[in-house]
Structure 1
Amino acid sequence: MREADTVTKTGRGRRGRRVLVIGGGIAGLAAAHRLLAGSERGGPVHVTVLEADERLGGKLRTGEIAGARVDLGAESMLARRPEAVGLAREVGLGDRLQPPSTATASIWTRGALRPMPKGHVMGVPGTAEALEGVLSDEGLRRIRRDDHLPPTHLGEDTAVGRYVAARLGREVVDRLVEPLLGGVYAGDADLISMRSAVPQLFEEAGRHVSLTEAVRAIQERAAANQQTGPVFMGIEGGIGTLPGAVADAVRAKGGEILLGERATSLTTRDAVWRLGTESGRVFEADQVIVALPARAAASLLRTASPMASQELRRIEYASMALITMAFRKAEADLPEGSGFLVPPVDGHTIKAATFASRKWGWIAEQNPDLMVVRTSVGRYGDEKDLAREDNDLVDLSRQDLREATGLDAAPVAAHVTRWKDGLPQYPVGHAARVERIREHIAAVPGLAVCGAAYDGVGIPACIAGAYAAVDLLGGDTAALDELKADPVQSMHGGAGE
C-alpha cells in the first residue's frame, strides 16, 4: 500500500492546529474536551483521540449485576476539588451528581468491626484520643510520646509508613495508615512517598517537631477554610458513565474518537508528528498528548524522548480485583455504614468491602430487594490471590464477609473485575521523577503527557493533569504551576475503595 493511502492527516483541508490525543481514559478524554473548548475561544483545533481498546474510560467502567447497574471500577471522586465535578457538569451530568447516602465507615481490626475514627490525616492522628477504640492502650501511649521525641529529618522525600512509625509507633501504620493508603494506591505504606501521597502532611511535618502538631495545624487550617458539602461525589448510573459523556461532548464539538487503534510508533520531523498504529495506519499532526499508562507511554516515547521513556519504565504498578456480589436484601443483615477497610496485618484476603446499595441511593433504587456488596483483593507486593479463579475469589470474599459481619447468605449473582497493572505506585522520589519526565518532554516541541502516573491516581488529579498538558502545548505554564503548588492528591484519597 502506498504511503498516500495510509497517512491520515487530522483536520486535512481545514485551517488550525491538528492535535492527536493518545489514550481514551478519563485523562485523554478530558484533554480532548479542553482542547476543543479552548478552540471556541481561540483559533480552530482539530482533535483526534486514539484508543487501543474497543472501550473508552480506562479504569472507569460500569456493568450490570442481577439487573442492577453498578460501577466495576472507581465508584467516587473527590468533590472538594473543582476538576471532576466541574467536568461532569460541563458534559451534562450535573443533575446526576450524588453524594454518598452514608459516609459512616468501619475498620475491621483486632477481631472486630470498629468505627472509623475521625480527627486524622490519612490515618495520622492529631491526638492519641482520636484513635481510641482502634489502637491498643500501648499503641495510644506510643502516640503520646511524639511530643517528646527529637526532630525526624524529612529530607527531599520520605516513606509515609516508615516516618509515621518512627514518630507514632508501628501500630498506627499497621491498623490505620496502611489500609487507608491501600484503599487509594493498593500499595505498601513503607514504600509510598509522603511528598506525593500526602503532600499537605509532608509540608506541615517539615515545619513542626511533632507530627501530631503538624496534623493539628492541617486540621485548624481546614476548619478556618470552613469547607462545606460532601467530600466525595458519585454519579447516578455510575462514575463509569463519565467517560462516555465526555466522549459525546468531544464528538459534538467536532472531535474524532477512534477505537481499536493501538499506537506503536511516534516520531517527529520538520514540526510534524507521525504516529503509526498496529492496524497499519499513520496519523500526522502538529501536536501530541500521550495519555497512556507509564509502561505504554515509555514504549511509545522511546524515539521521541528516550530519557523520558527511561524514567517512565521505572514506574511500577499494582494489580487488583473487584468482586461485586448481589444478595437478597432480606438475607443480608449487614452492619450500619457504607462498608469497612481491612488492615493487611490481620492476614485476611479482602482489603476492603463496600455496601454499595447502602452507600449509593441510585443503586438501591434500581432494585430495593437487592444488596450489592463490593470487595477488593490484591495490593502491591501481595498479588498471590489474583492467580485464583473467579469462583475462588468470590468464595474467599464471602468467607471474610461472614467472619467480619456474619453475612452467611449465598449471592444471587457475582462478578469479578480484574485490573491488571491498574494503579501506578508512588514510591519515595516519585515527585522528582515526574519533574525529570516533564523536563525531558518539554525539550520536545509539540509534545505533552498526562495520566494517573504523574500527579495523582484520583479522577480530579487525572483531569487536572490533562488540563495542564493542554495548556503547556499552548505555552501556558500556569495550570502546571498551580498543580505543583496545590497538589490534587490529598488526605481524602482517590479512585480506590
Structure 2
Amino acid sequence: MRIAVVGGGISGLVATYRLRQSLGASADLTLIESRTRLGGVLHTGPVAGEPVDLGAEAFVGRRPEVPALLRELGIADQLVHPAGLRPLVWAGGRTHPLPARTLMGIPSGPDGIASLLDAETVALIAAEPTRPFSWRPGADIDVYSLVADRFGAQTVARSVDPLLGGVYAGTARSIGLRAALPTLAAALDRGAASLTAAVSATLPPPSDAPVFGALRDGYAVLLRALAERSAPATVRDTAVTALRRASGGWQVDPVGEFDAVVLATPAPVTARLLAEVAPAAAQAAAGIELSSSALVVLELPKDTALPQNSGVLVATGEPLRAKAFTLSSRKWPHLAARDTAVVRVSFGRFGDDSVATLPDPELIAAATADLATVTGAPITPRSAVVQRWPGGLAQYAPGHLDRVAEIESELAGFDDLTVTGAYLHGVGVPACIASASTAAQRIATAPTGARPPNP
C-alpha cells in the first residue's frame, strides 16, 4: 500500500508514525513537505549553544496526548514542567497580576480582577447577574461581542485578549465562542441565567497539577523520534501542486501515484488541493483564515533584573509593540540552570502584521526596548534570534465548527483521503496529535480496494 502524507509538521509526522505502527514495514510511506525542514511551527534552535524552542514551547499538561506519546517513543524523561510562577499583565502603563480563576480571561465575578480594571468596569461585572440576559442555544458569536457587552470592553482588552493572543495570535474579535470556549457555550446553551453564572459553572475545580509541560531539549527531540520510528519512510521536500483521481487511487503532483493520501497541510493549502475532488470541503477550508507572528529570543546576562514571574502578557491598545514576553529562565527550571537568561518576545496579531514584518534589526530593537519598559531595567542582549511564522495559526472564527463539519462530511465519502491539522479541532500540540492519530487510523482500517467513483 502506497500512502502519501502531505505536510511535515507535527500532524504529518504523527500521522506517518501511526501509519507505520498500524501497517508495519511493508507499507510504502512518503512524507511530502514543501520546506527543507520537518516540524512546521515546531522548531528548536541554538541560543548560546543550547537548544531553545523558537516556535511553540509548551503544551497543555492536563491533556494526555503528549505524555503518552513521549512514553511510546521512549523519551518520557524529556518531560518537564514550569516552576509554578504566575504571569503578569501590562495594562495602563504598568504590570498587574494575571487574574486567577478566569476562563480564558473571562471573569466569574469582580473578585481577583478588580486591580486590573477601572471602577466603572468592576461595577459592571459585579452587577452583571442582575441585568437581563438572553442567549439562543446553538448561537455562535465572536468572544468580544459577548464579553464586552456583559463585562465591558476593558475586560476584553486587559484580560481576554492577552490570553487569546497567546493561543491563536488573534483577538476576541477574530475568535468564535463555540470553537474556542466550547464548555462556556454549552453552559449558555443549558440556560445559564447570566455570563457570570455560565463562567462559574464552567471553571474546573482548583488543582495543583501543572497546567503546562514542555520538552527539556525542545520539540526537536520529539520530531526526531517520530521520524526515526516512521522509518523506512521516504521524505520529499517539494510542494504538492495538484491532487486528482487516478486509476489506482490518487495522483499527487509532482510526486506520483498513491493508494491513499493524508493531507496534513494548512487550511489554504488544503482548500487548493481539494478544489476539484471535494469542492464543498475546499470552500469550507478556504474560509479559515490564518494569522502571522514573529518571535525574538533574547539571550541576556544571567543577572538581568527580570520579574519573578513566568511572563508578561500585553493588553490590547497599549503603546508597546510586543504582545507578550515569556521569561523562559524564570518559567522553566531547566532553563534557569543555564549560564544565561532567555526571554522570548512575541509579535503579531490577526489583521495586523505591521510589526511582525519589520526587518530583523528593527524587530530586535523593538523587543529590547519593550522588555526594558516592562521590567524598568536596562536590557543588553548578548545575542538575539528572530523566527517568523507567516500563516502560522488558524483563526477559530464564528462558524468554525460548521466549516470543520462541512470538510469532514464531504471527506467521509472517501476511504482513501483524509485531513488533519491545527485548523480542525485545536491549535495545540495535543489536539494535533489526536487529530493525526484519528486520520491515520481511518486510512489504515479502510477496506482494501474500496474506492469511491471519480468525481
For this structure pair, what is the TM-score category when the shorter chain's length is used for normalisation? over 0.9
1:228–1:102 Cα change, 3 Å? closer
Pairing 1:22–2:6 present: yes
Pairing 1:291–2:264 present: yes
Q: How far does the alpha carbon of each residue in 1:341-360 deviate from its partner, in whole angstroms, 9 at most, with x for none?
A: 00122232000001112212
Question: Is the CA contact (8 Å cut-off) linking 2:101 and 2:107 kept in structure 1?
Answer: yes
What secondary structure does 1:129 align onto?
A: coil
Amino acid at match of 1:218: T
* TM-superposed deviation, 1:52: 1.6
Question: Is the CA contact (8 Å cut-off) linking 1:263 and 1:275 kept in structure 2?
Answer: yes
Q: Which moved more, 1:24-33 or 1:308-317?
A: 308-317
Aligned twin of 1:200? 183
2 CA distance for matches of 1:243 and 1:227? 31
TM-score (norm 2): 0.93
Aligned twin of 1:263? 240
After TM superposition, list the pairs within 5 Å mapping 1:396-411 onto structure 2. 396-411=366-381
What secondary structure does 2:323 align onto?
A: strand
Aligned twin of 2:215? 235
Pairing 1:464–2:437 present: no
After TM superposition, list the pairs within 5 Å mapping 1:29-428 onto structure 2. 29-39=13-23, 45-154=27-136, 155-207=138-190, 208-219=192-203, 222-223=204-205, 229-251=209-231, 254=232, 256-277=233-254, 281-282=255-256, 284-330=257-303, 332-365=304-337, 367-368=338-339, 370-428=340-398
State the identity as a percent.
Answer: 38
2 CA distance for matches of 1:136 and 1:241? 46
Q: Which moved more, 1:204-213 or 1:178-187?
A: 204-213
Q: How far does the alpha carbon of each residue in 1:358-406 deviate from its partner, in whole angstroms, 9 at most, with x for none?
A: 21222233x32x1111111111112111232111111111221111111
2 CA distance for matches of 1:188 and 1:49? 34
* TM-superposed deviation, 1:131: 0.7
TM-score (norm 1): 0.86
* TM-superposed deviation, 1:474: 4.9
Question: Is the CA contact (8 Å cut-off) linking 1:325 and 1:414 kept in structure 2?
Answer: yes
2 CA distance for matches of 1:24 and 1:79? 24
- Report the RMSD for the aligned CA atoms in angstroms: 1.8
Amino acid at match of 1:260: D
Q: How far does the alpha carbon of each residue in 1:121-175 deviate from its partner, in whole angstroms, 9 at most, with x for none?
A: 0011112112121112221111012111222324431111110111112121111
What secondary structure does 1:466 align onto?
A: helix
1:227–1:49 Cα change, 3 Å? farther
Q: Which moved more, 1:87-96 or 1:429-438?
A: 87-96
Question: Is the CA contact (8 Å cut-off) linking 1:328 and 1:411 kept in structure 2?
Answer: yes
1 CA distance for matches of 2:145 and 2:385? 36
What secondary structure does 1:113 align onto?
A: strand
Gaps of 5+ in 2: 447-455
Aligned twin of 1:5? none
* TM-superposed deviation, 1:475: 6.0
What secondary structure does 2:356 align onto?
A: helix
- Between Structure 1 and Structure 2, the one with more helix by share is 1
What secondary structure does 1:70 align onto?
A: strand
Question: Is the CA contact (8 Å cut-off) linking 2:59 and 2:214 kept in structure 1?
Answer: yes
1 CA distance for matches of 2:119 and 2:220? 43
Amino acid at match of 2:166: G
2 CA distance for matches of 1:180 and 1:386? 18
2 CA distance for matches of 1:124 and 1:69? 35
Question: Is the CA contact (8 Å cut-off) linking 2:85 and 2:308 kept in structure 1?
Answer: no
Amino acid at match of 1:235: L
* TM-superposed deviation, 1:214: 1.3
Across the two proteins, how many residue pairs are aligned to each other?
A: 444
2 CA distance for matches of 1:66 and 1:109? 32
Amino acid at match of 1:20: A
What secondary structure does 1:350 align onto?
A: coil
1 CA distance for matches of 2:29 and 2:309? 45
* TM-superposed deviation, 1:205: 2.1
1 CA distance for matches of 2:112 and 2:188? 19
1:306–1:364 Cα change, 3 Å? same
